[in-house]
Structure 1
Amino acid sequence: MLSLAAFSSGESARTVELAGRADAPASRQAKEPVLAERPTMFAHSVEINFFEDLATMAATSDLVVLGEVRSVRPGRWVGEEEPKGRERVRDVTIEIEEVLLNNGSGAAPKTVTVDEWGWDSRGVGFQDENVTWTKAGDRGYYFLTPVKDAPGHHRLINSQGRALISGTELTPSSEEGAPLHEEMHHLSPKGFENSLSKAIRDIRAGKVRPQKKP
């Protein structure tokens, strides 16, 4: 479930239940809304996973990569038009520089398409928790899992699963004050690389186990 709240206090919050994922039928195309160029609302979601350390997040992810965003474009519509309204994902295409961990099946990809929220049924932009909208040229670490009903697509393992690099700064998407954020936010990109490398060694040595799904 996503709970959407406006960035400013002038707009009341609303709740949206995601009933399923499906592309919009052709009959709806004439009613497509104009999509906002920036988000003006936050989405607060009930997440399956929540991590307190980097190693467990990496172990639970199917794919951990370092990469740069090649493009961002509107993706598919998700959910039913009635009664709560649909949401539209943003397709973020990432060119992979390095596959750091591949816990899934199959060969390591050269690019990956990541689902990112998004727009509501009116075309109003919203971001999920602290996951700010991606733009082409963004570079960072992504902790991913496949989208089961959208073959070829991935999503962040949860809202904590991204750390962007800007020069000597690292910007994690984890919530401020949370244990994982405290572990990550003070690190330089090189320091994060070293911490992640150690975490992956511990995972491969069997010292860290994936988080169980509730």
Structure 2
Amino acid sequence: MIATLRGRVASLRLDSVVIEVGGMGLLAYATPATLAGLRVGEPGELATSLVVREDSLTLFGFADADERDVFESVQTVSGVGPRLAMAMLAVHTPDGLRRAVAGEDLAALMRVPGIGRKGAQRIVLELADRLGAPVSVAAGQQAGATDPADRRGEVVEALVGLGWNAKAAEVAVGQVAPLEAGPVGAAEIASVLRGALRALGGGRG
């Protein structure tokens, strides 16, 4: 199994990254929040999970091992495959999913495209004892604590890395997350990036 991927970031797309390792370019699918932390031409490192099928080998990349572990855990639920598991992590952080499952928050789970009420109920039932408590709570932090740092700049940099100029990226981010709405926390990067991509009218390539 390929557990980690480290090397120069060769290219970034809306849902994946190519990292050069030992003269080879390895493609890994990742969430917008994970991709936002990578820069073309710079070193990058991902925790990874290799999904093996009869006709394919697909690599999925994550910001850390905890995110990868949650990705693998949610796939133990009947009807949840790797694509839906990635969609869950694109909408929620690992701790966000833990809180949704622990609190039986069906509405939060149903915000993930492809998950209806019955699917959310099944996820709560089957994952109740598998995800554990939120890491932030286990570390003695408040579950609802927010990151005081404004992460708008990271979203702008991610958009620039995907092919837009800095001015257009700043305008799009400003439309989705105006300054008067307060700082953009780490948990909001993915949703702001998706909104900015919609404002810009789609993807590159």
TM-score range, shorter chain: under 0.3
Higher helix share: 2
Q: When you count strand as a share of all residues, which structure comes out higher?
A: 1
TM-score, scaled to structure 2: 0.26
Q: Normalised by the size of structure 1, how large is the TM-score?
A: 0.26
